[in-house]
Amino acid sequence: MTNTQVTLVQIDNYGPWTVTPEPRREADLQTLQSRLYADVSQFVGNRGGYVFFTRFDNMIAVTNGLDLEDHRLLQESAGNRYPVTLSLGVATGTDPVQALSDATTRLQEAGSAQDEDRRECLEGRVIEDAHRTADDVQIAHFDVINATGNYTDELNAFDTFIEIEQGYAELMRHMRRAHDSLSFFVGGDNVIVVCPDLEQADYEEAITHVEEAVDVSLQVGVGRGENAHDAGFGAKHALETCRADGTRVELEFEQ
Amino acid sequence: MTNTQVTLVQIDNYGPWTVTPEPRREADLQTLQSRLYADVSQFVGNRGGYVFFTRFDNMIAVTNGLDLEDHRLLQESAGNRYPVTLSLGVATGTDPVQALSDATTRLQEAGSAQDEDRRECLEGRVIEDAHRTADDVQIAHFDVINATGNYTDELNAFDTFIEIEQGYAELMRHMRRAHDSLSFFVGGDNVIVVCPDLEQADYEEAITHVEEAVDVSLQVGVGRGENAHDAGFGAKHALETCRADGTRVELEFEQ
Amino acid sequence: MTNTQVTLVQIDNYGPWTVTPEPRREADLQTLQSRLYADVSQFVGNRGGYVFFTRFDNMIAVTNGLDLEDHRLLQESAGNRYPVTLSLGVATGTDPVQALSDATTRLQEAGSAQDEDRRECLEGRVIEDAHRTADDVQIAHFDVINATGNYTDELNAFDTFIEIEQGYAELMRHMRRAHDSLSFFVGGDNVIVVCPDLEQADYEEAITHVEEAVDVSLQVGVGRGENAHDAGFGAKHALETCRADGTRVELEFEQ
Amino acid sequence: MTNTQVTLVQIDNYGPWTVTPEPRREADLQTLQSRLYADVSQFVGNRGGYVFFTRFDNMIAVTNGLDLEDHRLLQESAGNRYPVTLSLGVATGTDPVQALSDATTRLQEAGSAQDEDRRECLEGRVIEDAHRTADDVQIAHFDVINATGNYTDELNAFDTFIEIEQGYAELMRHMRRAHDSLSFFVGGDNVIVVCPDLEQADYEEAITHVEEAVDVSLQVGVGRGENAHDAGFGAKHALETCRADGTRVELEFEQ
């Protein structure tokens, strides 16, 4: 059974900071956001986790394998190197949406995202080492079948983007409502989804749903592991099988 | 009348590179993509342009003010510092979608995005200095009304994200089809749209459309300028007026 | 007794890469070198170690607390994100020079730094957890007394730099020959030295030597710990005591 | 005749910031310093200039081709993305030391480097476009003859570093005193020197001096141009001639 540890990473008081004393150059905000995300990706990724850029001022991470001291260090290091600070809420749950919900509540109870007195909160609990198992995280890696042939080399770049974005928006909503899962666009034509214990039939159903709703054809590789990297790497390999064999759903583990 | 110069920035042969000889760590791909985008944002932004991360392997930029030599230098510098290379297609048009369409065609004619022999193309034309005017670029900066109060401090972080994503997906499709405009989510609850000569009524219509379609309430500031930075900065200031006065649409210029 | 674990980080075949097929823009090489160093600093620093930029194509690190799997991951991550690769040699010793010497030999035996077939070597041994103690690392943090008042606000910026550089060159040579220590300029007017078990008298002697040889006045704080961060942080605090009390040598531990 | 435009880039109030409210993690300071330098290198380098890391809190740049608006933009962008701010002093002169001296004075007159009220100064003058010539900048690129064979593959990495550092310290002092030039170690075994109008004999003399003083054998390529990049690129090509032909001094231009 999955036991996902989720961390919500929130920049403190970001909205006001971007316009005080005057609005800041947009290109600089984009650079700051992207590089801060890249640093969090390295920190979390080097410890076996995944972090998704999400809204940039709010980033969602799967942090099985990171303890509270790791979280505190991430916060301290960011505070030493950026003109903004981070608050972190951590929680665990048998389904990722529940874990994220609890992580969010932890921060909301500490104060508003734009409360100028709320800075560098660290709230929550992690899974203790003794309780971790090889089934804790399930990751599904979706991509659009032959995106390059069907879209990138055929349509203008924005119409390709629209197709992929509509596919993502439909998948994200469906996976959240029907399967308590969190879906994140990660570039190209790829979406990584953090799932509870789903089965082959659930993934087939999701793919059918998206195809019928918005006419975007997806394939998916699914993996399981003690942390996000292990589960995600299994999912990548399973996706290569889809690409090689022309199948729509491949699980890297036995159900 | 607007005369938008659009550049499509495409990483050469990226899909294959990410899985050769084996799939690469996802956290490293995210870091690479984000930092490459941040560098392009600095280069383009320092010259008065805007670049949007879009799909990361394909990035769309408004490059009024950058000439072909600037594009070539960006390409050379990225090639010196990253394990991948960039191809660039540049075009101009009275509407942004047309410009992007032509920029895309320039690259498609040079070869597939996954053609291993196509590397570092630079194709297209820029607006000559003598032909540039203060009306060339129109930028609209949308955000969700009181996102922090209505969403961030109330819902779990993914449900907030879903609301903003649905609003973005609807706005992007509508602005493309009804107004030949290119819309980009830029973090938080913000969407920046690159427009042709639109008027107050067009923006009011777009806001109404999104509210009715997905129940997300937007406000917008609009600016005009010789380049994206000037237009976008005017838009940011107009948006501050919306926030201060409670209005839904503010144009920083006289229609 | 100190037991320093030292890692030599060497970029593979860097000299030839910088001029193949043609010399590359110097500003891009500086950017690449600095950002690669910054990434190694984050990776090693987040695990309690210190890395010094040294010659940039060869970097020296104190890696007590990092095991071989950590080293392998650092290598893999860099290889995924840079156009160059890293070879790593690790060794331990009761004095830092001996440890570095062995780490260097490990790489030299695997092949030349410019051998185009030698890529991503990982050679050596680490200190096993059970054998680590709170005395393993001794760090001394030197700075120039009142550099801002005596130099920065008085001389032209290059003459200030010459003074600091002459002080560093003298200290580095003396600490290596007389005390088997490794000295690194870390910016401003600061030099961090990795030492074996030295005593108050050794530091007083070193300061006197530099003052007499090149007329540069130093003060120093010294710390000890299980890893470089712990030892170095103790040294920083001891240096603050020097600044506050006007003393020349402060040890953060009892001899 | 050379007409070097030099900019001194100084971080405001850095010393106090690094220890307030408590000393900050050394690895984070190293990362911050290196990435800030890398950004300045990209900004200046993309406009044809060179910047040298020097002491990191004080960086020296050759900025022929950058005007005051460029300097202001660099300052604004850094202030938007880092927890520190920059002050800039710009001056020009027929010899680089004089130019740097004037640039330093500009900042010193505005206030101390650790004056907490002095922030983001921009003082000085640039060379107007109409007065720029192809002889404005002379750059010499020195390296150690066969460093890899003689040092890197033979000695331990610190003893190699000591040899190169002693060579650099001697060259920097001699070039400053005898030839009004500014010398900067740029990694590996390379030193870039910013010179006034020197001749073949001056470079031969400098090489002999260093060989006799510290027994380090150098070769040098020299270039000239309208800006640092042009001059430096010519120097790199000339240095390749030294490497190919076994000569000690090569000028890429006719004296």
> Tens digit of pLDDT for each residue in D186-201?
999 999 999 999 999 9
- Which one, of C7, C110, C118, C11, lies nearest residue C67 by Cα? C7
pLDDT above 90 for C149:
no
**A-interface mutation test, from C41, C42, C75, C77, most A Cβ less than 10 A away:** C42
Over the stretch C60-83, which tens digit does the pLDDT of each residue have? 999 999 999 999 999 999 999 999
Measured CA to CA, the distance from residue C70 to residue C75 in angstroms comes to 9
User: Does C78 reach chain A within 8 Å, measured CB to CB?
Assistant: no
- Phi and psi (nearest 5°) for B41? -60, -40
pLDDT for C111 = 84
Contact predicate B165/B109, CB 8 Å: no
pLDDT for D118 = 87
- Which one, of A101, A140, A107, lies nearest residue A12 by Cα? A107
**CA geometry: angle B231, B232, B236, nearest 5 deg:** 120
pLDDT for B241 = 96
User: Does D116 reach chain C within 8 Å, measured CB to CB?
Assistant: no
What lies within 8 Å, CB to CB, of D97 at 6+ separation is C156, C158, D176, D180, D181, D182
Contact predicate B164/A173, CB 8 Å: no
Contact predicate D38/C38, CB 8 Å: yes
Rounded to the nearest 10°, the torsion over CA D209, D211, D215, D217 is 150
Beta bridge partners, D192, equal: D141, D184
pLDDT above 80 for B255:
no
pLDDT above 80 for D42:
yes
**A-interface mutation test, from B26, B40, B114, most A Cβ less than 10 A away:** B26
Looking only at Cα atoms, what is the longest distance across chain A? 57
pLDDT-derived band at B121 (thresholds 50, 70, 90) equals very high
- Which one, of A97, A99, A88, A104, lies nearest residue A44 by Cα? A88
**Helix B200-214 × helix B157-179 angle, to 10°:** 130
Q: What is the mean predicted confidence (pLDDT) over D49-56?
A: 98
Contact B25 A229 (CB under 8 A): yes
Measured CA to CA, the distance from residue C211 to residue C223 in angstroms comes to 23
The secondary structure of residue B131, as a DSSP letter, is: G
What lies within 8 Å, CB to CB, of A144 at 6+ separation is A150, A151, A163, A164, A167, A189, A216, A217, A218
Instruction: Please report, rounded to a whole number, the percentage of residues in chain D having pLDDT higher than 70.
Output: 100
pLDDT for B6 = 98
Distances (CA, A) of C7 to C32, C69, D148: 21, 13, 19
Count contacts between C and D (CB, < 8 Å). Answer: 210
Distances (CA, A) of D194 to B26, D57, D94, D124, D191: 43, 20, 12, 20, 10
DSSP code per residue over B4-52: EEEEEEEETTHHHHHTSSSPPPHHHHHHHHHHHHHHHHHHHHTTT-EEE
Contact D45 C25 (CB under 8 A): yes
Measured CA to CA, the distance from residue D141 to residue A13 in angstroms comes to 48
Rounded to two decimals, the ipTM of the complex is: 0.96
Distances (CA, A) of D4 to D60, D65, D95: 12, 10, 7
Q: What is the mean predicted confidence (pLDDT) over D147-164?
A: 89
Q: What is the mean predicted confidence (pLDDT) over C204-221?
A: 97
User: Does D80 reach chain A within 8 Å, measured CB to CB?
Assistant: yes
Measured CA to CA, the distance from residue D40 to residue D59 in angstroms comes to 9
Out of D43, D46, D77, whose CB is closest to B73?
D46
Nearest CA in chain C to D170: C166
Contact B35 A31 (CB under 8 A): no
Count contacts between A and B (CB, < 8 Å). Answer: 210
pLDDT for C232 = 97
* Kind plus residue range of the DSSP H or E element containing D90: strand D86-93
Range list of H helices, chain C: 14-18, 26-45, 68-81, 96-110, 147, 157-179, 200-214, 228-245
User: Does A45 reach chain B within 8 Å, measured CB to CB?
Assistant: yes
Contact D176 C156 (CB under 8 A): no
pLDDT for D147 = 86
Q: Average pLDDT over chain B, rounded to whole? A: 96
User: Does B66 reach chain D within 8 Å, measured CB to CB?
Assistant: no
Out of A155, A157, A187, whose CB is closest to B33?
A187
pLDDT for A114 = 85
Residue count of chain A? 255
pLDDT for C117 = 84
Distance from CA of B33 to the nearest CA of C (A): 9
B23 to chain A: which residues are within 8 Å by CB?
A: 233, 236-237, 240
pLDDT above 80 for D255:
no
pLDDT for B47 = 98
**CA geometry: angle A242, A247, A252, nearest 5 deg:** 55
Measured CA to CA, the distance from residue C221 to residue C238 in angstroms comes to 4
Nearest CA in chain B to A57: B188
Instruction: Please report, rounded to a whole number, the percentage of residues in chain D having pLDDT higher than 90.
Output: 90
Q: Average pLDDT over chain D, rounded to whole? A: 96
Contact predicate B2/B138, CB 8 Å: yes
Contact A43 C39 (CB under 8 A): no
Count contacts between A and C (CB, < 8 Å). Answer: 16
Q: Where are the beta strands (DSSP E) in chain B?
A: 4-11, 50-52, 58-62, 86-93, 122-124, 137-144, 182-185, 190-195, 218-225, 249-251
Contact A156 B46 (CB under 8 A): no
Over the stretch B65-99, which tens digit does the pLDDT of each residue have? 999 999 999 999 999 999 999 999 999 999 999 99
Contact A81 D28 (CB under 8 A): yes
- Which one, of C4, C193, C192, lies nearest residue C101 by Cα? C4
- Tell me the average confidence (pLDDT) per consecutive run of 10 residues in chain A, 255 residues long: 97 95 96 98 98 98 98 98 98 96 94 86 96 97 91 88 95 97 97 98 98 97 98 96 96 89
User: Does C31 reach chain B within 8 Å, measured CB to CB?
Assistant: yes
C30 to chain D: which residues are within 8 Å by CB?
A: 37-38, 41, 45, 51, 53, 186-187
Two structure tokens written together for B90: 């540049």
Two structure tokens written together for A1: 């059974």
Contact D82 A83 (CB under 8 A): yes
Distances (CA, A) of B215 to A50, B164, B168, B209, B212: 32, 10, 12, 9, 6
Measured CA to CA, the distance from residue A146 to residue A161 in angstroms comes to 14
Measured CA to CA, the distance from residue B133 to residue B131 in angstroms comes to 7
pLDDT above 90 for B120:
yes
D55 to chain C: which residues are within 8 Å by CB?
A: 160-161, 164, 187-189
Measured CA to CA, the distance from residue D145 to residue D150 in angstroms comes to 8
* R_g (Cα) of chain C, nearest Å: 19
Contact C77 B29 (CB under 8 A): no
Contact predicate D34/C37, CB 8 Å: yes
pLDDT for B43 = 98
User: Does B37 reach chain C within 8 Å, measured CB to CB?
Assistant: no
Distances (CA, A) of D69 to A2, A116, D65: 56, 34, 11
B45 to chain D: which residues are within 8 Å by CB?
A: 77
Instruction: Please report, rounded to a whole number, the percentage of residues in chain B having pLDDT higher than 70.
Output: 100
Q: Which domains does chain D have, with CATH numbers?
A: 4-131 (3.30.70.1230), 137-251 (3.30.70.270)
User: Does D156 reach chain A within 8 Å, measured CB to CB?
Assistant: no
Contact A28 D81 (CB under 8 A): yes
pLDDT for A247 = 97
Over the stretch B134-193, which tens digit does the pLDDT of each residue have? 999 999 999 999 888 888 788 889 999 999 999 999 999 999 999 999 999 999 999 999
Touching subunits of D (3+ CB pairs, under 8 Å) are: A, B, C
Residue with tokens 């004089």: D98
Residues 187-246 of chain C whose Cβ lies under 8 A from any Cβ of chain A: none
Contact predicate B171/B165, CB 8 Å: no
Nearest CA in chain C to D156: C101
**B-interface mutation test, from D35, D39, D42, most B Cβ less than 10 A away:** D42
pLDDT for C65 = 98
User: Does B94 reach chain D within 8 Å, measured CB to CB?
Assistant: no
Report the range of poorest mean pLDDT among A231-245, B106-120, C239-253: B106-120
Two structure tokens written together for A86: 């981070």
